[in-house]
């Protein structure tokens, strides 16, 4: 273990006993290359785990206390709870993402016989669309599996963590974030089927391009309620399409554009036609993008990224002025193969593919264009596709 992080952890926690039993977990963030707002409609998405994320030092305890300290929220200090009282409490702040996983595991009958101390240090911007919360959840999940041998697979932990986020934290997210963080593979994007949870790994020709994440540096506004509204709209569209077909539609992504056109009346009346259209066209774009990536047809991949952004702006209405300006800045910049918003939207980040060698010039130009448009300096992170959450071997 990195001695610095061990010392930081031990001193932040104060009286940590059994520090010699400490172990370390790396849990990445994720960026989605294409396929947004269709994971909860059973769609295909193409994310990758990042070589940035959350490092956790975990020290098993002998009593039933759970304690956490995050270097990213030092003002909260050490947050504590008890294994026998893990109910949601907003004053726990970031620690709720750990407690939610513990609480959900206990609720499902998993045996967690003693508590632990967990020290976190993350290097992904919080609330920026790179899934810092799912990264913390999966760090907790890996720690629980390591300490208690609960026998869950990475995919099962991802599902448990997603359920924790839905029911404990109260955000109606889909499975994409937790599953990409659980299943990531270095050098690969993940073609993820959000219905079957199957993951196909598509090699990323990283010798040809760099993945550049750009943050709008614009705080997300009412993102959770807007997200939940979109989910409701999609659910309404699914129901309407079921009535139209005369049989249940399980997943809106399975509907065709022709069927949508035939049901335009009721979809329009309910105000959900454009949300349904995005869902159906985005699914087709992900299929085409995975094919393009396999064929190393980057120009095509880039065009699909742009079409995806347009659809998220015009049909799904989740981009907003800042993300639109950031994407437009990239589209106008030489060396940019493709650019689009990524994740939930409403602020947050864009993802950009940049031709090898053009990174510095492109970053400077995108920053200047974006700042000109909205008066805010963006922030950039060059990222690589990395492995999913794992234990860091001791050395
Ligand atoms: C958030 C959610 C995901 C997914 C994306 C949009 O990141 O957590 O489940 O819905 O938004 O694609």
16-71: pLDDT as tens digits: 666 788 999 999 999 999 999 999 999 999 999 999 999 999 999 999 999 999 99
Residue with token string 């349904």: 276
Q: How far is the CA of 36 from the centre of ligand 1 (A)?
A: 7
| Beta carbon of 173 within 6 Å of any ligand 1 atom | yes
- Identify whether the C-beta of residue 10 lies closer than 8 Å to the C-beta of residue 1: no
Alpha carbon distance 365, 329 (integer Å): 8
3-class DSSP state for residue 307? helix
pLDDT confidence of residue 258: 98
- Reply yes or no on whether the pLDDT at 1 is more than 60: no
Ligand 1 atom closest to Cα of residue 165: 8
Q: Which residues pair with residue 31 across a beta bridge?
A: 48
CA 291 to chain centre: 23
The tens digit of pLDDT for each residue in 85-125 reads 999 999 999 999 999 999 999 999 999 999 999 999 999 97
pLDDT confidence of residue 379: 95
- Reply yes or no on whether the pLDDT at 5 is more than 70: no
pLDDT confidence of residue 15: 63
Q: How far is the CA of 345 from the centre of ligand 1 (A)?
A: 9
Q: Which of 31, 34, 36 to mutate to test the pocket of ligand 1 (most atoms within 8 A of CB)?
A: 36
- Provide the pLDDT confidence category of residue 395 given band limits of 50, 70 and 90: low
pLDDT confidence of residue 220: 74
pLDDT confidence of residue 6: 61
Alpha carbon distance 38, 276 (integer Å): 10
- Reply yes or no on whether the pLDDT at 188 is more than 70: yes
Ligand 1 atom closest to Cα of residue 38: 12
pLDDT confidence of residue 4: 59
* Pick from 289, 260, 336: nearest CA to 252: 260
* Pick from 155, 144, 184, 172: nearest CA to 51: 184
Q: Which residues pair with residue 70 across a beta bridge?
A: 120
Alpha carbon distance 273, 266 (integer Å): 9
Alpha carbon distance 154, 321 (integer Å): 37
pLDDT confidence of residue 296: 96
- Reply yes or no on whether the pLDDT at 167 is more than 70: yes
- Identify whether the C-beta of residue 249 lies closer than 8 Å to the C-beta of residue 241: yes
Which runs of consecutive H residues, i.e. helices, occur in the chain?
A: 3-13, 96-107, 132-148, 154-163, 176-183, 223-245, 257-262, 264-269, 273-294, 298-314, 320-331, 359-374
- Reply yes or no on whether the pLDDT at 8 is more than 70: no
- Reply yes or no on whether the pLDDT at 223 is more than 90: no
Name the residues annotated as catalytic: 177
pLDDT confidence of residue 65: 97
Alpha carbon distance 65, 56 (integer Å): 17
In sequence order, which residues have a C-beta less than 8 Å from that of residue 133 and are 6 or more positions away? 97, 165, 169, 177
What b/e sequence results for 247-279 when a residue is b if at least 16 CB atoms lie within 10 Å of its CB, and e otherwise?
eebebbbbbeeeebeebeebbeeeebbbbbbbb
Ligand 1 atom closest to Cα of residue 37: 12
């Amino acid at each position: 273990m990195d001695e610095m992080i061990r010392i930081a952890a031990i001193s932040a926690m104060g009286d940590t006993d059994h520090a010699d039993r400490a172990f370390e977990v790396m849990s990445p963030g994720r960026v989605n290359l294409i396929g947004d707002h269709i994971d909860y409609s059973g769609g295909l998405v193409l994310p990758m785990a990042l070589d940035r994320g959350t490092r956790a030092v975990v020290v098993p305890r002998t009593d039933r206390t759970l304690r956490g300290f995050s270097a990213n929220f030092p003002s909260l200090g050490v947050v504590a709870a008890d294994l026998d009282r893990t109910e949601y409490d907003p004053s726990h702040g970031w620690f709720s993402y750990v407690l939610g996983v513990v609480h959900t595991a206990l609720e499902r009958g998993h045996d967690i016989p003693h508590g632990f101390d967990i020290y976190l240090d993350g290097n992904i911007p919080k609330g920026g669309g790179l899934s810092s919360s799912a990264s913390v959840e999966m760090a907790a999940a890996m720690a629980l599996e390591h300490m208690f041998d609960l026998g869950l697979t990475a995919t099962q932990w991802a599902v448990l963590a997603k359920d924790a986020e839905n029911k404990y934290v109260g955000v109606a997210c889909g499975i994409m974030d937790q599953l990409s963080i659980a299943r990531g593979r270095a050098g690969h994007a993940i073609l993820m089927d959000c219905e079957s949870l199957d993951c196909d790994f598509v090699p990323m020709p990283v010798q040809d391009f760099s993945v550049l994440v750009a943050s709008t540096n614009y705080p997300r506004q009412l993102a959770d309620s807007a997200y939940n509204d979109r989910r409701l709209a999609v659910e309404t569209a699914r129901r309407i399409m079921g009535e139209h077909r005369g049989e249940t539609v399980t997943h809106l992504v399975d509907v065709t554009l022709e069927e949508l056109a035939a049901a335009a009346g009721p979809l329009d009346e309910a105000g959900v036609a454009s949300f349904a259209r995005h869902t159906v066209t985005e699914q087709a774009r992900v299929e085409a993008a995975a094919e393009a990536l396999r064929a190393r047809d980057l120009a095509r991949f880039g065009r699909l990224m742009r079409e995806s952004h347009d659809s998220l702006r015009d049909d799904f209405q989740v981009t907003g002025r800042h993300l639109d300006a950031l994407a437009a800045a990239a589209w106008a910049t030489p060396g940019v193969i493709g650019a689009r918003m990524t994740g939930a939207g409403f602020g947050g980040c864009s993802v950009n593919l940049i031709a090898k060698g053009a990174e510095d010039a492109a970053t400077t130009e995108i920053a200047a264009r974006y700042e000109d448009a909205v008066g805010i300096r963006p922030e950039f992170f060059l990222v690589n596709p990395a492995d999913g959450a794992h234990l860091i071997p001791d050395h």
